[in-house]
Amino acid sequence: MLKLLLSVICFLCLTSGVLITTSTAATTVTLDANNLSIWPQPQIIKNYENKPSLEFTRICFNVSSFISSDWNNLAECERNFLSNALNRLSTRYQFIGPSNSSSCVKFSLKKETSSCKISLLNSSEKYEMWLNGNYSTIKAENVFGTLRAIQTLAQIIDQAYSIVKNAKSQVIISSIYIQDYPFYNYRGLMLDTARHFIAVDSLKRHIDSMEEVKMNAFHLHITDDESFPINMTKYSPSTYKFNGGPLTFEILRDLNEYCADRGIQFIPEIDTPSHSQSWSTYYPSIMYPSCTNHLDMGKQETYQVVANVYQFLFKLLGSWTQTIPRIKFTNQFLHAGFDEIDGNCYSNDATLKKYQTFVLNNILQNGSLIASGDSTDKILPIVWADDLITDYQLGNTSALPRDTILQIWRNDATLTETLKYYYKTIVSISEPWYIDAPCSRTFEKIYQYKPPAHPSVIGGSTCMWTSSGDTDNDLEEYVWPRAAAVAERLWTNPCNPITFWNASFPYNTQKLSRKTILTNRIVKTGTAAQTYACSSTTNPTFSSNCTSGVTFTVPAQPSLDSVTPQQSTVNPSTSTPTATSSVSPKSSTKTPVGKSQSMNTGSSTTRLSQANSVKISLILFVVILAIASWYTTH
């Protein structure tokens, strides 16, 4: 009887051990080049062989994860810039690294140039990144490229962390190589704070969302007919009458620094000579009598008032509160407006040409000296050029200096005419890149528009014009995530983007579309983001002339001279072999993003746990039988 009872107990131990182990065994999800959700999509992302995979738990997103000798080789301004970025992104995504920093995989940081002053238009944001379990490498041409690599790494960690946190799964990252760079240098967002004043906190949330999608130009339309929201009295009370607005010198300087810390150029716009009715509250004498929203370009007083306003802006762009070394831009920008000029509001074309020449030359000749005292630094003017080119034929004239950057919004015909003059040009075609109409200009329609391939096109900007009835929350939902469609168009410029926004990847407990994952990440910046119910339910039609790609071989990872590669702690039997999912270095085409790798269910890990459980239970069973036999014989 005792034998039978002990046998039953042993059988229950055996079966329960298997069942418990089976139900609690953690699944393993393998992330690789085929199922990583990164926005904007990198130009090249490949799996590569002969390197161990990387356990997610070994990634430390902080300064200590970089090899100290590489980090110390950076200029102090670069260390400040990158350490702030690491802290900021770590807080945004709530990353919790390993408690023992010695287990962190080390990052080698290779940078070709070192400088505290970088040009938006002439510098490269290119980077390369090798991720593997021995050590990882980030290679960039300058600190902006390094920042973009860190932003990409943050999105990879976010995807892994979402799975670990919500699906309770282990995450292994295969050996991955990324080569990335923007197709266009200028990738902008314009917000109108004149018709509806946008709170500074909301402006900063937009800027954080821009950083998330690698946009780099924040254009703030400050003045218009409705308001002149700048308070200039503290700057020079005896000269300026503009004293009614909430935007002080200190607030605007803070916005400029907030942008610069994120690799974004701050571009303030004072719109003249039209859209200027708000000036009449302070200087009624400089308004054109028959056109209340135009400055009188025939009066000398007008020129003096305008010059004073620009002097305020020059000083603003050259002022910094922090005394620690920081990254600054060699070239800065001021937007001078010149939109929708009514030809009936001045005596003749010579009047407009005289005023325009005065404003643009004042920016070009005096701006840099007042801002920084360095004549090698330039402040470049940007203008809305549709009227100037098509209505007034000012292209290639002294009224439109060659260093002026033209922004075109009206239509493709105007853009085509403008490009004949070979000025640097920003594309902002209103249909569909004006995003104040969420239902008529859907995410898909915005993504479909492609700027022309022309050497004068330096990039583009999406524009959010406001109205008095908007709230800050409304505006954030109007802008995001639709502005991110422009961001990826300008960074990646994919040939056929249907697969880009529709592809589904593992995130949290399920597979989500890239657009949904993007929206989740934007919300983590604190920005209100929404995919409107009126968004298109059908995909637009694209031409089928996409090329299959060119032959690409993953380059060798730069070697470490002074650091011994760390051994991977990944159990070879629990990680998915890269050969089953990787792209061979000899592959001649880039893996289509839409063909996502399915989530690894961790069946091999579960089977291994079951096998171990069976062995332990059998040993226990034999031991108990031996005890039972001893009792029955004694």
59 and 104 Cβ atoms separated by less than 8 Å: yes
In this predicted structure, the answer to whether residue 391 has a pLDDT above a threshold of 70 is: yes
456 and 426 Cβ atoms separated by less than 8 Å: no
Active-site residue list:
340
User: What tokens were used for 471?
Assistant: 């709230």
* Confidence band, pLDDT 50/70/90 cuts, at residue 567: very low
* Confidence band, pLDDT 50/70/90 cuts, at residue 457: very high
* Confidence band, pLDDT 50/70/90 cuts, at residue 625: low
* Confidence band, pLDDT 50/70/90 cuts, at residue 375: low
Calpha distance 439→378 (Å, rounded): 40
In this predicted structure, the answer to whether residue 428 has a pLDDT above a threshold of 80 is: yes
What pLDDT sits at residue 533?
Answer: 53
3 state DSSP class of 70: helix
Q: Which residues pair with 463 in a beta bridge?
A: 190, 434
- Comparing 304-308, 331-335, 476-480, 533-537, the range with the smallest average pLDDT is 533-537
Residue labelled with tokens 């999912």 = 581
Answer positive or negative: Cα dihedral of 395, 401, 403, 409. Answer: negative
155 and 38 Cβ atoms separated by less than 8 Å: yes
Q: Give the model confidence (pLDDT) of 209-256 as tens digits.
A: 999 999 999 999 999 999 999 998 876 655 578 887 899 999 999 999
Comparing 364 with 494, the larger pLDDT belongs to 364
- Please give the average per-residue pLDDT across 573-601, as a whole number: 32
Helix count (H) and strand count (E) of the chain?
Answer: 17, 22
3 state DSSP class of 229: coil
What pLDDT sits at residue 512?
Answer: 92
- Please give the average per-residue pLDDT across 520-530, as a whole number: 91
Q: Looking at this protein, which amino acid is placed at residue 391? A: D
- Please give the average per-residue pLDDT across 84-103, as a whole number: 82
In this predicted structure, the answer to whether residue 633 has a pLDDT above a threshold of 90 is: no
3 state DSSP class of 496: coil
The vertex-493 CA angle with 395 and 445, nearest 5°, equals 85
* Confidence band, pLDDT 50/70/90 cuts, at residue 577: very low
* Confidence band, pLDDT 50/70/90 cuts, at residue 120: confident
What pLDDT sits at residue 388?
Answer: 92
* 230 DSSP assignment: B
Q: Which residues pair with 328 in a beta bridge?
A: 117
Residue labelled with tokens 């001045």 = 346
Structural Rg of the chain based on CA atoms:
30
Report domain 28-182+544-586's class: alpha beta
Query: Omega into 40 within 30° of 0, i.e. cis?
Result: yes
What pLDDT sits at residue 377?
Answer: 74
Residue labelled with tokens 């980090």 = 71
Q: Which residues contact 166 (CB under 8 A, 6 or more apart)?
A: 508, 509
* Confidence band, pLDDT 50/70/90 cuts, at residue 179: very high
Nearest Cα neighbor of 120 from 313, 337, 405, 384 is: 405
Calpha distance 138→524 (Å, rounded): 25
- Please give the average per-residue pLDDT across 614-618, as a whole number: 52
Q: Which residues contact 202 (CB under 8 A, 6 or more apart)?
A: 472, 475, 476
The alpha-helical segments, DSSP class H, found in 480-574 are 482-491, 498-502, 514-524
3 state DSSP class of 397: coil
Buried b (16+ CB within 10 A) or exposed e, 183-215: bbbbbbbbbbbbbbbbebebbbbbbbbbbbbbb
**Strand ranges inside 371-514, DSSP E:** 378-384, 405-408, 425-427, 457-464, 504-507, 510-513
Q: Which residues contact 310 (CB under 8 A, 6 or more apart)?
A: 270, 334, 359, 362, 363, 366, 367
Q: Which residues contact 398 (CB under 8 A, 6 or more apart)?
A: 353, 357
Highest mean pLDDT among 97-106, 172-181, 325-334, 489-498: 172-181
The vertex-197 CA angle with 387 and 335, nearest 5°, equals 35
Q: Which residues contact 432 (CB under 8 A, 6 or more apart)?
A: 440, 441, 445, 446, 448, 449
Highest mean pLDDT among 7-16, 268-277, 494-503: 268-277
In this predicted structure, the answer to whether residue 564 has a pLDDT above a threshold of 70 is: no
Buried b (16+ CB within 10 A) or exposed e, 310-324: bbbbbebbbeeeeee
User: What tokens were used for 369?
Assistant: 């000296």
Q: Give the model confidence (pLDDT) of 351-373 as tens digits.
A: 999 999 999 999 998 876 665 55
Q: Which residues contact 348 (CB under 8 A, 6 or more apart)?
A: none
Highest mean pLDDT among 189-193, 365-369, 466-470, 583-587: 189-193
Calpha distance 552→545 (Å, rounded): 20
- Please give the average per-residue pLDDT across 519-533, as a whole number: 84
- Cα separations (Å) of 334 from 110, 190, 258, 380? 34, 13, 17, 6
395 and 420 Cβ atoms separated by less than 8 Å: yes
Calpha distance 132→172 (Å, rounded): 10
Q: Name the superfamily (CATH) of residues 186-491.
A: Glycosidases (3.20.20.80)
- Cα separations (Å) of 406 from 13, 82, 118, 341, 454? 78, 33, 22, 15, 14
- Please give the average per-residue pLDDT across 183-208, as a whole number: 96
- In degrees and rounded to multiples of 5, residue 367 shows phi and psi of -60, -50
- Please give the average per-residue pLDDT across 387-403, as a whole number: 89
First to last CA, the chain: 15
Answer positive or negative: Cα dihedral of 290, 294, 296, 301. Answer: positive
User: What tokens were used for 262?
Assistant: 């994120």
- Please give the average per-residue pLDDT across 416-443, as a whole number: 92
* Confidence band, pLDDT 50/70/90 cuts, at residue 290: confident
Dihedral of the alpha carbons of 77, 83, 88, 89, in degrees to the nearest 10:
120
Q: Looking at this protein, which amino acid is placed at residue 333? A: F
What pLDDT sits at residue 439?
Answer: 78
User: What tokens were used for 161?
Assistant: 């962390």
pTM: 0.84
3 state DSSP class of 23: helix
What pLDDT sits at residue 612?
Answer: 45
Q: Where are the domains of the chain?
A: 1-27+601-634, 28-182+544-586, 186-491
* Confidence band, pLDDT 50/70/90 cuts, at residue 468: low
Q: Which residues contact 198 (CB under 8 A, 6 or more apart)?
A: 191, 466, 472, 475
371 and 314 Cβ atoms separated by less than 8 Å: yes
Helix axes 603-633, 2-24, angle to 10 degrees: 170
Q: Which residues contact 428 (CB under 8 A, 6 or more apart)?
A: 190, 407, 408, 409, 434, 460, 461, 462, 463
What's the full length of the chain, in residues?
Answer: 634
In this predicted structure, the answer to whether residue 61 has a pLDDT above a threshold of 60 is: yes
What pLDDT sits at residue 601?
Answer: 33
Q: Give the model confidence (pLDDT) of 299-323 as tens digits.
A: 999 999 999 999 999 988 888 887 7
